[in-house]
Structure 1
Amino acid sequence: MTKKIVVTGLGTTSPLGGNVPDTWRALLAGESGVRPLEQEWVEKYELPVKFAGQAKVPAAEVLERVETKRLDPSSQFALIAAREAWADAGAPDVDPLRITVDYATGIGGVWTLLDAWDTLREKGPRRVLPMTVPMLMPNGPAAAISMELSARGSARTVVSACASGTESIANAYDHLQAGLADVVIAGGSEAAIHPLPIAAFASMQALSKRNDDPQGASRPYDVSRDGFVLGEGGAAIVLETEEHALARGAHIYAELAGGAVTSDAHHITAPDPEGTGAARAVVAALEQAGAVPDEVQHINAHATSTPVGDVAEYNALLSVFGDRVHSIPVSATKASTGHLLGGTGALEAIFTILALHERTAPPTINLGQQDPAIPLDVVTEARSLGEGPLLAISNSFGFGGHNAVVAFRSV
């Protein structure tokens, strides 16, 4: 029998705020978390892109010094988000063997890896820190969360580029349905605002180069969009069966109704221009939710602000929803946060959950002139989603042709 899976806790640290309430408030207010980079390495390496969506609250201001010394920034963000989500869920008293972690990252401990390489070259092998390998491992965030919560069911890591965070949530759904856990904490984090990733993304013409207007640089669906803006942070959600949540008197935000993943098998970086694989993921997520496309009343789009990607996603949505897609309220929240890579799907899942919980679709900023090739109903000011049952989807697509979609219902 299919179980009803519900969301009972939310946590984040993002370019908009150091927690969920501050992040959501800033998003609804149309604020931008993107700002100029002031680190000396920006000029030292003559980077062509000089801005990003840095975490609004530095991890060092939240964590103990020993935690920042022993965790890569990607794990630091994960731990902050997980602590908030767990507390928000009421710190459930659960058998550790029945707690599972499904977490994600797109790149992992890039700061640790590249700092260690610099140390090796400049100071020799004896100066490389003993904790280097545990800190750079992509499973570091999941491991840090599992130890924090004494989660002994399992601690699994998804690494599927920018689809990672969403895929981790889809996996959590499956693990709860299979009875492998009573409570799962899922999400994703990323900390890749480092000169090498910036230089590499810029070299492939993926990043916006609006150095004169950082806060206006991420502009999904706009005719003048020229690439995404790199962001950082972490997000986590606590999931459990409705039966388990009600038994302990938990607050329920929304239902995780379904999730699905597919692959384009098309190109290592470019999406299938027709959005075929993305469309299959949307259809499969809705099928798992026992829903049909006509029930969807809100979409949190992947919408990275790249010329090709935004059109491909529109083609996918058009193939699933037909002409009705032009009347579904669509939010493209990377305009405010930048692109958190492996953490972005988890953050946008929180935005989707809160949109249902508060019946308000968040705005898409920086849309001056909408691309006529993408005639979606883009939400540009916070908009009421009305009364009655609501169903929403959140899309994430990543390099390598990874597609992940999750569907949420109001409660």
Structure 2
Amino acid sequence: MIRDLRRVVITGIGAITPLGNTIDEFWKNIVAGKPGVGPITRFDTTNFKTKIAAEVKGFSPAGYFEKNEARKYDLFTQYAVAAADEAIIHAGLNFEQLNKNKIGVIWGSGNGGIQTFQDQLEDFFINNKQPRFNPYFIPKIIADIPSGVISIRHGLRGLNFSTISACASSNTAIIDAFNYIRLGKADIIITGGSEAAINETGIGGFNAAKALSTNNAHPETASRPFDIHRDGFVMGEGAGALILESLDSALRRGATIIAEVAGAGMAADAYHLTGTHPEGEGAYLGMIDALEDAEIPASQIDYVNAHATSTSIGDESELKAMYRVFGDRKDLHVSATKSMTGHLLGAAGAIEAIISVKAIQDNIVPPTINTTDVDNDWSNIFNLTLGAAWQKTIDYAMSNTFGFGGHIATVIFKKFR
């Protein structure tokens, strides 16, 4: 049976980030080029190589949960619920007037409840190996819990699951949501991702992998994608949520449409456990797949939100892949917004999707900050939007994410017409 694929639009967004806990605050700070990185406050970093991160500030679960309920959830789930709540309100969704059997949740996280896991094991060994585990230990740590909690909170009985593809997790969730809606399996899906891994385990583990910046003396400029002096990524945390909806559903309820999902692509580097392919083979395939899915030539992309984590090999390989896709295009604006937010790991794709959508909506290219000495003269090939935002009509925006294990996920958004 041949199906007519439905158009999929975005009707709501929500965010909990190092640069603000609402969409308006987050976007204002992104456009202003404000850094969200500072010294770690969550634990004593004396014995750690990395002492900096992009922490969420001023978040209180009391704004979303009763006290006893909040204790059931790890911070990554609390972030997810908060971002989803904002997106639901932003979309003007009244679930009592909709078919809840056709509303789903697809969520992404790379690490799940890593803080809970650390706390419980620490307590176990401190208590002389007495098994006094929290009865919510397992549901607090498993990565699928945010999708379940969001659906329970609102009584949504449509398809429900979580995606795990490391730092591509939330882009993968968005792609799955896009595909299920256009196939008619759901009318509305709440999608996105969350992460809360700024703790001893998260920082220590990524330090051991030699992935994190150790520029502790200058935290605000430590994340410097494309710069010859970059020395690793800065860990971030938070959540991003998007309401994806069939065009028919959005029009039927008179929703405000922010943007449209044009296409998506996935691939694999098939190269290394943690490192990207030096020539960006998987990144190239993912971008080409997304362009073919959107049925547009590369020349129609106006803006690329690059994965660009500020690692030596990763940034270079992505730019090489982009050159294969786009050629020499000084008119193509590229920005690496992790220079401001840090790297939100499994939630990176979600907040960068939101940035891409807002860029389309407001016709503003957000900046790449901190980058002053571009490696290998890539600024002569693409416009890397260094230092300040740029006003420009954006009809199509591409967002790239890549994850440990060689996972590639690229989404293309477009202006709704």
Question: C-alpha offsets along residues 204-252 of structure 1, whole Å, 9 cap, x if unaligned?
Answer: 2110001100110000011110000000000000011111101101011
Question: C-alpha offsets along residues 320-341 of structure 1, whole Å, 9 cap, x if unaligned?
Answer: 11112x4300111000000000
Check if 1:342 corresponds to 2:349. no
- Cα contact 2:263–2:411 (8 A) shared by 1: yes
Once residues 209 and 62 of structure 1 are traced to their aligned partners in structure 2, the CA distance between those partners, rounded to angstroms, is 35
1:128 pairs, out of 107, 111, 133, with: 133
Question: C-alpha offsets along residues 254-287 of structure 1, whole Å, 9 cap, x if unaligned?
Answer: 0011112111111010111111111111111111
Query: Quick one: which amino acid aligns to residue 30 of structure 1?
Result: G
Check if 1:33 corresponds to 2:39. no
Question: C-alpha offsets along residues 3-58 of structure 1, whole Å, 9 cap, x if unaligned?
Answer: 21100000010000011110000111111111111344323xx1111110111232
- Cα contact 1:257–1:409 (8 A) shared by 2: yes
Aligned residue runs from structure 1 range 240-389, under 5 A: 240-324=245-329, 326-375=330-379, 376-380=382-386, 381-386=388-393
- Cα contact 2:52–2:219 (8 A) shared by 1: yes
Query: Quick one: which amino acid aligns to residue 66 of structure 1?
Result: N
* SS of residue in 2 equivalent to 1:406: strand
Unaligned residue ranges in structure 2 (runs of 5+): none
- Cα contact 2:5–2:183 (8 A) shared by 1: no
Check if 1:198 corresponds to 2:199. no
Check if 1:115 corresponds to 2:111. no
Match of 1:172 in 2: 177
Match of 1:47 in 2: 48
Question: C-alpha offsets along residues 83-134 of structure 1, whole Å, 9 cap, x if unaligned?
Answer: 0001100024321110111100011110111111111112244421100001
The count of aligned residue pairs is 406
Match of 1:81 in 2: 83
Question: C-alpha offsets along residues 343-388 of structure 1, whole Å, 9 cap, x if unaligned?
Answer: 00000000000000000011111011111253331112111123xx
C-alpha displacement of 1:59: 3.7
Query: Quick one: which amino acid aligns to residue 95 of structure 1?
Result: N
Aligned identity (percent) is 39
Once residues 237 and 149 of structure 2 are traced to their aligned partners in structure 1, the CA distance between those partners, rounded to angstroms, is 18
Unaligned residue ranges in structure 1 (runs of 5+): none
Query: Quick one: which amino acid aligns to residue 370 of structure 2?
Result: N
Identify which range, 345-354 or 150-159, moves more after superposition.
150-159
1:22 pairs, out of 22, 25, 44, with: 25
- Cα contact 1:13–1:57 (8 A) shared by 2: no
- Cα contact 1:167–1:260 (8 A) shared by 2: no
TM-score, normalising length from structure 2?
0.95
- Cα contact 1:166–1:396 (8 A) shared by 2: yes
TM-score, normalising length from structure 1?
0.96
Identify which range, 51-60 or 179-188, moves more after superposition.
51-60
* SS of residue in 2 equivalent to 1:201: helix
Once residues 43 and 234 of structure 2 are traced to their aligned partners in structure 1, the CA distance between those partners, rounded to angstroms, is 19
CA-based RMSD: 1.3
Question: C-alpha offsets along residues 278-306 of structure 1, whole Å, 9 cap, x if unaligned?
Answer: 11111111111111101101100000000
Query: Quick one: which amino acid aligns to residue 71 of structure 1?
Result: Y
1:184 pairs, out of 163, 182, 189, with: 189
Query: Quick one: which amino acid aligns to residue 254 of structure 1?
Result: A
- Cα contact 1:33–1:56 (8 A) shared by 2: no
Once residues 94 and 165 of structure 2 are traced to their aligned partners in structure 1, the CA distance between those partners, rounded to angstroms, is 30
1:66 pairs, out of 65, 68, 91, with: 68
Once residues 315 and 82 of structure 1 are traced to their aligned partners in structure 2, the CA distance between those partners, rounded to angstroms, is 35
